[in-house]
């Protein structure tokens, strides 16, 4: 049955307009971008099949474009939506307000780092009122680690005239549990930053689910 034959309250676009995008399932959100399905398969059915074949929404969107059922136009729409989401979070952090909500910085950092298949170490540079000055991806590594150099981080802090920083790195495995090496380099970086009067506010480990905060663990 075509989506046009569905009751108005069950069609993805009508549901979105009436009740907001948050009520749509992953398959229904995909259907909005796909626009149409295939013969004998509605856009929602196609969305469900794509999700099942990829193992979920994240692996579907993280993988390169080569998926039966997603044309170039639909794929461009999905990529543009992801980038808009990232830029929205970036604008939220750069609004000029003091960054006091750890959850906001965690959401932003996850949006920037979670999709990489290799480890990336990034940094939010803040002023003395904890307003965001910049975000930079400083180091990239392999699937199981990245080399972090305190001297380069100190140099970038001085370049931005930062008064505080928040670190983050992803675990491509999806397990957001800090390793002994993560804790060791965090303490080493904190000691290096203390020499130039820059405060280390937190270090997030990004994986599946909610990022892990070393500050909340009491490890800073």
Q: Which two tokens stand for residue 217?
A: 């663990």
How do residues 66-93 score in pLDDT, each as one tens digit? Answer: 665 677 777 777 778 777 877 776 766 6
Burial pattern 175-192, b for ≥16 Cβ within 10 A else e, equals ebebeeebeebbeebbeb
Residues 51, 26: contact at Cβ < 8 Å? yes
- Look at residue 85 in the predicted model and tell me its pLDDT: 76
Residue 206 near residue 176 (C-beta atoms within 8 A): yes
Domains of the chain: 3-86 (no CATH), 98-213 (3.40.140.10)
Return all residues near 167 (Cβ < 8 A) that are at least 6 apart.
Answer: 121, 122, 123, 124, 186, 189, 200, 202, 203, 204
| Residue 68 CA from chain centroid, whole number | 26
124-156 pLDDT per residue, tens: 999 999 888 989 999 988 766 678 999 999 999
Residue 100 has pLDDT above 90, yes or no: no
Which of these, 182, 111, 106, 109, lies nearest to 144 by C-alpha position? 182
**Helix/strand/coil for 153:** helix
pLDDT tens digit sequence for 193-207: 999 999 999 999 999
Residue 26 pLDDT grade (very low, low, confident, very high; cuts 50, 70, 90): confident
Encode pLDDT of 38-65 as tens digits. Answer: 777 787 887 888 778 777 777 777 666 6
């Amino acid at each position: 049955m075509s989506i046009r034959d569905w009751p108005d309250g069950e069609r993805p676009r009508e549901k979105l307009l009436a009740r907001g995008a948050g009520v749509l399932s992953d398959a229904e959100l995909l259907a909005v971008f796909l626009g149409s399905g295939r013969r004998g398969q509605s856009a929602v059915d196609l969305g469900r099949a794509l999700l099942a074949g990829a193992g979920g929404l994240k692996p579907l969107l993280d993988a390169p474009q080569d998926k039966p059922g997603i044309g170039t136009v639909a794929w461009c729409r999905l990529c543009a939506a992801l980038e808009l989401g990232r830029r929205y979070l970036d604008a939220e952090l750069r609004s000029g307000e003091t960054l006091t909500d750890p959850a906001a910085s965690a959401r932003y950092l996850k949006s920037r780092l979670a999709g990489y298949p290799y480890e990336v170490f990034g940094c939010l540079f803040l002023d003395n009122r904890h307003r965001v000055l910049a975000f930079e991806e400083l180091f990239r590594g392999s699937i199981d680690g990245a080399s972090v150099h305190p001297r380069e981080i100190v140099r970038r802090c001085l370049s931005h005239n930062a008064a505080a920083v928040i670190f983050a790195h992803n675990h491509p495995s999806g397990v957001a549990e800090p390793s002994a090496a993560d804790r060791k380099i965090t303490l080493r970086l904190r000691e290096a930053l203390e020499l130039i009067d820059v405060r280390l506010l937190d270090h997030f480990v990004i994986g599946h689910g909610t990022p892990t905060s070393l500050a909340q663990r009491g490890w800073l």
